[in-house]
Amino acid sequence: MKIEDWFQGLRNRAETIEQKWPKASEQERIELADQLFYLRQVSDRVVDLWLQFEERLSHTIRHVKQLEGQGPSDKGEQGTEFKELQQEMKKDTAETEPSNHTQEQVYEYEHLFRRGEGFYHLRMYPDARKCFSELVAAAPDWETGRLYYAYSLLFCGDKGQAMREFRLLCKSASSPNIVSISYNALGCILAEEAQWLEAMQAFKEALEAVPDQADARFNLALCYYRDGDAQEAVDESAKYLEAHEHDWEAQMLWLRAAKHLQGMDETAVLEPPDSLNLPARELDSETLQEMAVLYEALGHHHRAQICYHFLTERFPKEGWAWHGLAWHTWLISGTRRAGTLMKKAISLAPDQVDFLFSFGWMRLFDGDIEASMEAFRQILEKERTNRLAQSGMISAYEKRGDIQAAKQLAKSFLTDEQPYIQSLGYFHLGRLAMGEEEWPLAEQYLKRAEPSSDWLREIPIYLQLCASKQGKGIAWDELLQS
pLDDT above 80 for 107 = no
Range in 18-32, 255-269, 376-390 with the lowest mean pLDDT = 255-269
- Contact (CB, 8 A) for 442 and 433: yes
Structure confidence at residue 72 as a pLDDT band (50, 70, 90):
very low
Residues contacting residue 7 through CB under 8 Å, at least 6 positions apart: none
Q: Residue 75: what pLDDT? A: 43
Q: Residue 266: what pLDDT? A: 64
Of 126 and 103, the structure prediction assigns the larger pLDDT to: 126
Range in 32-36, 59-63, 300-304, 377-381 with the lowest mean pLDDT = 59-63
Tell me the average pLDDT across 116-138.
Answer: 88
Which residue type occupies 219? N
Measured at the CA of 195, the angle between CA 189 and CA 200, to 5 degrees, comes to 80
Q: Residue 252: what pLDDT? A: 84
pLDDT above 60 for 446 = yes
Q: 90-101, pLDDT tens digit by residue?
A: 333 334 445 445
Average pLDDT of the chain is 83
pLDDT above 50 for 89 = no
Tell me the average pLDDT across 11-23.
Answer: 89
Range in 133-147, 166-180, 365-379, 461-475 with the lowest mean pLDDT = 461-475
Handedness of CA 269, 274, 275, 279 (dihedral sign): positive
Highest-confidence range of 76-90, 357-371, 443-457, by mean pLDDT? 357-371
Q: Residue 472: what pLDDT? A: 74
Q: Residue 96: what pLDDT? A: 43
Q: Which long-range contacts (CB under 8 A, 24 or more apart) does 66-74 make?
A: 74/286
- Contact (CB, 8 A) for 426 and 449: yes
CA-to-CA distance for 49 and 63, rounded, in angstroms?
Answer: 21
Q: Residue 218: what pLDDT? A: 93
Q: 351-360, pLDDT tens digit by residue?
A: 999 999 999 9
pLDDT above 50 for 364 = yes
Tell me the average pLDDT across 426-451.
Answer: 90
Q: 341-352, pLDDT tens digit by residue?
A: 999 999 999 999
Q: Residue 201: what pLDDT? A: 95
Of 164 and 99, the structure prediction assigns the larger pLDDT to: 164
Closest CA to 218 of 76, 56, 80, 324: 80
Say what percent of the chain tops pLDDT 90: 44
pLDDT above 60 for 70 = no
Closest CA to 402 of 374, 378, 377, 436: 436
Q: Residue 454: what pLDDT? A: 56
Tell me the average pLDDT across 152-162.
Answer: 93
Structure confidence at residue 471 as a pLDDT band (50, 70, 90):
confident
Tell me the average pLDDT across 197-208.
Answer: 94
Tell me the average pLDDT across 209-218.
Answer: 92
Q: 277-316, pLDDT tens digit by residue?
A: 677 787 888 888 888 888 887 788 988 999 999 999 999 9
Which residue type occupies 89? M
> Secondary structure of the chain in the HEC alphabet?
CCHHHHHHHHHHHHHHHHHHHHHCCHHHHHHHHHHHHHHHHHHHHHHHHHHHHHHHHHHHHHHHHHHCCCCCCCCCCCCCCCCCCHHHHCCCHHHHCCCCCCHHHHHHHHHHHHHHHHHHHCCCHHHHHHHHHHHHHHCCCCHHHHHHHHHHHHHCCCHHHHHHHHHHHHHHCCCHHHHHHHHHHHHHHHHHCCCHHHHHHHHHHHHHHCCCCHHHHHHHHHHHHHCCCHHHHHHHHHHHHHHCCCCHHHHHHHHHHHHHHHHHCCCCCCCCCCCCCCCCCCCCHHHHHHHHHHHHHHCCHHHHHHHHHHHHHHCCCCHHHHHHHHHHHHHHHCHHHHHHHHHHHHHHCCCCHHHHHHHHHHHHHCCCHHHHHHHHHHHHHHCCCCHHHHHHHHHHHHHHCCHHHHHHHHHHHHHCCCHHHHHHHHHHHHHHHHHCCCHHHHHHHHHCCCCCCHHHCCHHHHHHHHHHHCCCCCCHHHHHCC
Closest CA to 96 of 107, 86, 81: 107
Range in 143-157, 171-185, 219-233, 261-275 with the lowest mean pLDDT = 261-275
Which residue type occupies 472? K
Closest CA to 222 of 89, 55, 77: 77
Q: Residue 87: what pLDDT? A: 40
- Contact (CB, 8 A) for 126 and 156: yes
Structure confidence at residue 68 as a pLDDT band (50, 70, 90):
low
Q: Residue 76: what pLDDT? A: 45
